[in-house]
Chains A and B, each alone.
Chain A
């Protein structure tokens, strides 16, 4: 009986404490950043919520650290997700300040509804579409046309609804071999899946972005698609129209176009436009 009572006491204690915590969180959550740093509060800290495509996680984290050093009055909150999900969040009035999309489509949709400040929109980055093979591949592929040959048994590409898949189709259509490729293609859910199929050797080759190919040493870049074979791969940026921190947001976008940021982007394999 004693055991039981102690147990009950423990449970109720945990409950009360965590409920209290939860209540505090709800109360404080929207001012969390500011009361973490009392000193910054007096200097009037601006919080910027930057919604960015998940593929930019590492570069933006790095650039965020750099920016923090010179802009003590700005607190950057990066939130990473798929461009489509981020678009929905902005449409539903999430408190976002900056949107960096991995495709023009999502940005166009927001522009149509006047949800982004049109004059701040800019194509920040570009990416290359490349053909990758497993590191130990003995097929000796050197061009996109080689993929059509019979020695290639399985090609990993993005599905129809995946951006990289659409670019892939354009490239192979340009070389007029899409029908042959389609017959031996395995369709990935996203570019990462395509890459892991090639990494593991399950596919003889695959088509991914250059930035993805550079994240692993298990694949070799066999060829890069020429610019005129597909629509350009673009990463547009813009300030969200509803943002209350327009000036601070613009300033951060300017920083992303600075030579300092350019070096970081290029190191990761992006083309700076």
Chain B
């Protein structure tokens, strides 16, 4: 119970990062393809980052509250998001999503299209091109997006307290625990949580940086155009290596 905020924070951050990762990549890929309305869609998708988190939380509460549209539908299925861990995950996801989406979009747009054409020339399927050509090439950008997303989700406060409340043992993450400790005048407890959250954040960033540095090396090594398909098995059958 005493250390539940650590578990809850990590659970929320991991879940939110995973959802943001999948959605962010998928949506970024679609947006890059858009011709018209690109800036409008982009603006809407980035909105949660620009708005104060409390406002995002308020909108989420409007949506998921019993009076809200989604909340009404969920209530019919006897599911409630407000004051639950699911609410905390949703809040953290919405707030951290733009970071993943933006990074992925930037990486996709900067990717050398010639490599995609090269892939098509040798008859690779679009799916294969995405996973074997685009993704490895965009790795550094995507990883930095992942780091930002995780960091944002771990520290989320404003939207979370609005949607998920601040219930010890149930929705009280570390950020909320710090707020509670300060609000009730418990300095020592606040300092303790601050120290723990810093330690966890530093450790995560450190590990991710090591990982990023390693992949950057491998991307560089594979940068010479032909070498992207150095894995023979990835080539369609019957293609000879020139």
Binding site for B on A (CB under 8 A): 1, 3-4, 7, 14-15, 18-19, 21-22, 25-27, 29-30, 32-33, 49, 51, 54-58, 61, 77-81, 85, 88-89, 92-96, 192, 195, 212, 215-216, 242
Query: How many residue pairs bridge A and B at CB < 8 Å?
Result: 139
Q: How far is the CB of B7 from chain A (nearest CB, A)?
A: 12
Q: Secondary structure of the A side of the interface?
A: helix
Q: How far is the CB of A68 from chain B (nearest CB, A)?
A: 12
CA–CA, A33 to B11, complex, Å?
Answer: 17
B66 at the interface (CB under 8 A from A): yes
Task: From A15, A22, A94, A192, name the one whose CB has the most chain B CB atoms within 10 angstroms.
Answer: A94
Given known A94-B66, A192-B185, contact A19–B218 (CB-CB < 8 A): no
Q: Please report which residues of chain B, range 122-161, place their CB below 8 angstroms from some CB of chain A when the two chains form the complex.
A: 136, 161
On whether the beta carbons of A32 and B184 are closer than 8 Å, the reply is no
CB-CB under 8 A from B66, the residues of chain A are 92-95, 242
Would you mind naming 8 contact pairs between A and B with Cβ atoms under 8 Å apart?
Answer: A25-B85, A29-B80, A78-B168, A92-B66, A93-B82, A94-B61, A96-B83, A195-B185
B106 at the interface (CB under 8 A from A): no
7 tightest CB-CB pairs across the interface, nearest first?
A215-B185, A93-B66, A92-B65, A79-B165, A54-B183, A29-B84, A57-B184
On whether the beta carbons of A89 and B82 are closer than 8 Å, the reply is yes
- How many residues on the B side are at the interface (Cβ–Cβ under 8 A)? 51
On whether the beta carbons of A19 and B19 are closer than 8 Å, the reply is yes
CA–CA, A269 to B133, complex, Å?
Answer: 66
On whether the beta carbons of B79 and A4 are closer than 8 Å, the reply is no
B15 at the interface (CB under 8 A from A): yes
List 13 other contacts, CB 8 Å, given A25-B86, A89-B65.
A14-B18, A15-B18, A29-B81, A29-B85, A54-B184, A58-B185, A81-B166, A92-B66, A92-B67, A93-B65, A95-B80, A95-B83, A242-B66
B182 at the interface (CB under 8 A from A): yes
B167 at the interface (CB under 8 A from A): yes
On whether the beta carbons of A54 and B186 are closer than 8 Å, the reply is no
On whether the beta carbons of B180 and A54 are closer than 8 Å, the reply is yes
CB-CB under 8 A from B111, the residues of chain A are none
On whether the beta carbons of A79 and B166 are closer than 8 Å, the reply is yes
On whether the beta carbons of A32 and B183 are closer than 8 Å, the reply is no
On whether the beta carbons of A22 and B18 are closer than 8 Å, the reply is yes
Task: From B21, B78, B86, B162, name the one whose CB has the most chain A CB atoms within 10 angstroms.
Answer: B86
CA–CA, A56 to B184, complex, Å?
Answer: 7
Which listed residue (B15, B181, B186) contacts A18, Cβ 8 A? Answer: B15
On whether the beta carbons of B170 and A32 are closer than 8 Å, the reply is yes
